Amino acid sequence: MLRLLTILAILSLSPLRAAEPLRLGMIGLDTSHVTAFAKTYNDPTAPGYVAGGRVVAAFKGGSADIETSATRVEGYTKQLVETYGVKIYDSIEELAKNVDAILIESVDGRPHLDQFRRTLAAKKPVFIDKPFAGSLKNAVEMVRLAREAGVPIFSSSSLRYAPEPYAPKLATVGDITSAYSIGPAVYEPTHPDFFWYGIHCVEALYTVLGTGCTQVVRTQTANTDVITGIWSDGRVGTAQGNRNGYKGYGVTVVGTKGVVVVGEKQNYAGLTVEIMKFFQTGISPVPLETTLEVLAFMEAGDESKRRGGAPVTIAEVMKKAGYATAK
């Protein structure tokens, strides 16, 4: 009888345990994303609140050689602690042990490889904010480590999940023949040109066209950068990064039946929903091959600039970054 009562008691607790929110930990408190995401996950009264997890832990991080990182760490740390009661850990390893899922939020992509490596022993799913890495080579190594350890990872710009979904408009243009994506692309000297902010318009371009780019060429002026890629099926995709011009987003899509513009509006709502789904399922909505090709497109653009605008293949830069070892 006692054994039966014990079993019944355990069964009665199971639904409660299943409903408990995931404990989320953040690494790198130097971007506005940390407070925006914490509000979305921790505050049920917030517009766009996403249930299923709470930010409970963080590691401050920060990069002394990037002003927009170094000057913001303490302020965002204070907000997380005072507003949401987040516990600050002195090491990534300790944080990883005490959470169910991890968000690497460091605005600087260079430390992402080391930060990710230090979470691996805990075997927790990891979302890695933009830029995925500070170089294509580091990105390839991160993918190799994730696959070797069996740890699910996911990375995406919020532009992939615009408030107005791309699909309804894209369905009206017939077969897509080309796409032209624009967005701000200010430089950060510590990163490849498009990695810092241009990645958003590139991600939007890939949301429309998917993978399959074979080569790119890059044109640069004082105010504008343009990377034009040719896809294996003959489609053409162009990403234009503006520094002193229009700072908005948008992808002009040309098809066999018409032309539409998508992705003009953006916020974090769609991305935060996808992150939570990923944490709950362990399945990334964006294949790692897509994430790597997005970075390869930008890296090939940099190489084209170094060669005076000559064409550079995606295969070349992937091979140079050691991609064969990541498969």
Question: Interhelix angle for 269-281 vs 32-42, to 10°?
Answer: 70
pLDDT at residue number 19: 65
Residues 6+ apart with CB under 8 A from 23: 53, 54, 56, 57, 98, 99, 100, 101
Q: Measure CA 179 to chain center.
A: 21
Quickly state the pLDDT bin for 1 (edges 50, 70, 90).
very low
CB 241 within 8 A of CB 201: yes
pLDDT in the model for residue 324? 77
Q: How is domain 160-266+295-320 classified at the CATH fold level?
A: Dihydrodipicolinate Reductase; domain 2 (3.30.360)
Query: Is the per-residue pLDDT at 176 higher than 60?
Result: yes
- Start and end residues for every CATH 3.40.50.720 domain found in the chain: 20-129
pTM: 0.91
Q: Is 129 helix (H, G, I), strand (E, B) or coil?
A: coil
pLDDT at 118 over 70: yes
Q: To 10 degrees, what angle do helices 73-84 and 32-42 make? A: 10
pLDDT at 86: 98
4 pLDDT higher than 50: no
What are the pLDDT digits (tens) for 275-324?
999 999 999 999 999 999 999 999 999 999 999 999 999 999 999 999 97
Residues of the chain with CATH 3.30.360.10: 160-266+295-320
- Residue pair 294/288 in contact (Cβ under 8 Å)? The answer is no
* DSSP letter (8 states) at residue 42: H
DSSP letter (8 states) at residue 260: E
Record: fold of 20-129? Rossmann fold (3.40.50)
Is residue 221 classed exposed, middle or buried when 0-12, 13-18 and 19+ CB atoms within 10 A define those classes?
exposed
